[in-house]
Amino acid sequence: MSERAEITRASLRTPQAAAIAGVVFAFLLGGALVLLRVAVPADPAEAPAWLEEPWRRTSVVVALNLVPFADLAFLWFIGVVRDRIGAEEDKFFATVFLGTGLLFVAMLFVAAAVAGALIATEAWRRPTELSTEMWRLGRSTSHQVLNIYAMRMAGAFTISTTAIGVRLRIMPRWLAIVSAVVALVLLLTVERFAWVQLLFPLWVLVLSLYLLTHQDTVRDSG
């Protein structure tokens, strides 16, 4: 088989690979966010009490362990989408797309590491021996990194991905409009309504399912 044929086959498989990676990411991150929101109380001062409840502690530990796998799936999603763009890559949008995606991944790791450090500290010492100020600092740090910075990078990533998808004609108008609304919500309101975070994995899921079910359209546009 010629080299050109091998390249063509690889390019045709790219939308499917991106879709699968996106679906995996959406379920992993969505599950982690739901577990955290259900298990962690809104008031940081309640930490010593809720950490003594086994189901809450287990939920947080499971959520934190899902984050690295979600990040890996997201990196795969970024990689195969960039491979799909190929020679048609616009340097401006490609830079924003890659930069915001990598920053989002890095900030997820930071937020998870801070939260994990609090859990590890509680395992070394009795919860009642840990000061409220310590819990407030750790909780506020992870909250700020996740809600204010990571999710705003997710909003910028959504905008850049939408711009690329529209430019390459692989994203329909209705999905572009939905993507723009999701991006604006993530950029402007995510710190006020915590459950808004779920919009990003949901958007990735919708985009991935579209790529998976409309591969012929994606191929023809190339």
pLDDT at 47: 57
Please, are residues 28 and 69 in contact by the beta-carbon 8 Å criterion? yes
| Exposed/middle/buried for residue 131 (C-beta within 10 Å: 0-12, 13-18, 19+) | exposed
Residue identified by tokens 């990194």 is 145
Instruction: Indicate the Cα dihedral angle 202, 95, 72, 190, nearest 10°.
Output: -40
- Contacts of residue 203, defined as CB under 8 A and 6 or more positions apart, other chains included, come to 158, 178, 179, 182
- Looking at the structure of the chain, the number of domains it has is 1
pLDDT single digits (tens) 28-49: 999 999 998 888 766 555 555 5
Q: Place 123 in a pLDDT band, splitting at 50, 70 and 90.
A: low
How far lies 68's CA from each of 25, 29, 43, 91, 184, in Å? Answer: 10, 9, 26, 29, 26
pLDDT at 64: 92
pLDDT at 100: 94
pLDDT at 49: 59
- Percent of the chain exceeding pLDDT 90 equals 38
Report the pLDDT averaged over residues 151-169.
90
Closest C-alpha among 159, 142, 118 to residue 194: 142
Q: What mean pLDDT is reported for the chain?
A: 80
Residue type, 204: V
Range with lowest mean pLDDT among 9-18, 27-36, 112-121: 9-18
| pTM for the predicted model, two decimal places | 0.82
DSSP one-letter string for 155-204: HHHHHHHHHHHHHTT-S-HHHHHHHHHHHHHHHHTTTT-GGGGGHHHHHH
Q: What is the DSSP letter of 51?
A: T
Q: How many contiguous H segments (helices) and E segments (strands) does the chain have?
A: 9, 0
Cβ contacts of 71-75, under 8 Å, gap ≥ 24:
71/105, 71/108, 71/109, 73/21, 73/22, 73/24, 73/25, 73/28, 74/21, 74/25, 74/29, 74/101, 74/104, 74/105, 74/204, 75/101, 75/105
What gap in Å lies between CA 201 and CA 198, rounded to an integer? 6
pLDDT above 50 for 2:
no
pLDDT at 8: 40
pLDDT single digits (tens) 15-25: 688 789 999 99
Report the pLDDT averaged over residues 70-90.
81
Please, are residues 59 and 35 in contact by the beta-carbon 8 Å criterion? yes
Range with lowest mean pLDDT among 56-65, 106-115, 153-162: 56-65
pLDDT above 80 for 204:
yes
Tell me which residue range forms the domain holding 23.
3-221
